[in-house]
Amino acid sequence: MSKLTVYLESDARRPELSTADPALMAGHLAHVGILFERWTASTPLPASGDGDAVLAAYAAPVEALKEARCFRSVDVMRVTPATEGVTALRAKFLDEHTHDEDEARFFVEGSGAFYIHLDRRVFRVVCEAGDLLSVPAGTPHWFDMGPRPRFTTIRFFTRPEGWIASPTGDTIAARFPLFEPAAVDAA
């Protein structure tokens, strides 16, 4: 289930706010400049996860977002527990970092958790199939794909090198709960 949990940066134990209502999630996130939307496929998705078919199913919202945010290209990324180097891939984005361009991801299937650090708070956004999240350029954040990663996302790019991660050096991520899908669903 998609879910927003907001913590003060100083307290990872008692959230200020928690909601699984997509409209409330979008509202709270918009208040701090983060785009969150729910998209619906125009055609049934192929079980194969074929990238062209995925992009065709979401062609209208993909084009609208490219136009609105000046993204020049997209691709489809699929990660499963069998993906080569998946443990290192998870670790790569677990420390707080920034990018020179917006990090926009649409979840076609599966799930993952973004942790966005701004306004002296951490906005933890568990994204599921149908969720679009865009982290603004320069905003400190980290991403946890969980211990058994499984997701397909459409990624948006302004320029090929633009989303290279720059570590902030802040160890804040270690204080916040990892993404454990079963635990999140039970919370």
Annotated binding-site residue numbers:
97, 99, 103, 141
Q: What is the DSSP string of 128-153?
A: -TTEEEEEPTT--EEEE--SS--EEE
Q: Which stretch binds Fe ion (CB under 5 A): 18-26, 31-39, 99-107, 168-176?
A: 99-107
Does 144 bind Fe ion (CB under 5 A)? Our answer is no
Least Å distance, CB 137 to Fe ion, is 10
23's tokens: 């409209």
Residue of closest CB approach to Fe ion: 103
Among positions 96, 102, 103, 144, the unique one binding Fe ion when judged by CB under 5 A: 103
Query: 165: left (phi > 0), else alpha (psi -120 to 50), else beta?
Result: beta
Token look-up 């302004």 returns: 158
Given the complex with Fe ion, which of 57 and 154 has the nearer CB atom?
154
- Options 53-61, 67-75, 96-104, 153-161: segment touching Fe ion (CB under 5 A): 96-104
Nearer to Fe ion, 57 or 71 (CB): 71
Binding site for Ni(2+): which residues?
A: 97, 99, 103, 141
DSSP 3-state of 35? strand
DSSP character for 97? E
Size of the residue set binding Fe ion (CB under 5 A)? 1
Cβ proximity to Fe ion, 102 vs 103, nearer residue: 103
Terminal C-alpha separation, the chain: 11
Q: What is the Cβ-side half-sphere exposure of residue 156, based on CA atoms within 13 angstroms?
A: 26
Counting Cα atoms < 13 Å in the Cβ hemisphere of 62 gives 24
Considering the complex, state which of residue 57 and residue 104 has its C-beta at the smaller distance from Fe ion. Answer: 104
- Looking at beta carbons only, is 20 or 178 nearer to Fe ion? 178
Measured from the CB of residue 114, what is the shortest distance to Fe ion in angstroms? 8
Instruction: Report the greatest alpha carbon distance in the chain.
Output: 44
Is the separation of the CB atoms in 142 and 93 below 8 Å? Answer: yes
Binding site for Fe ion (CB under 5 A): 103
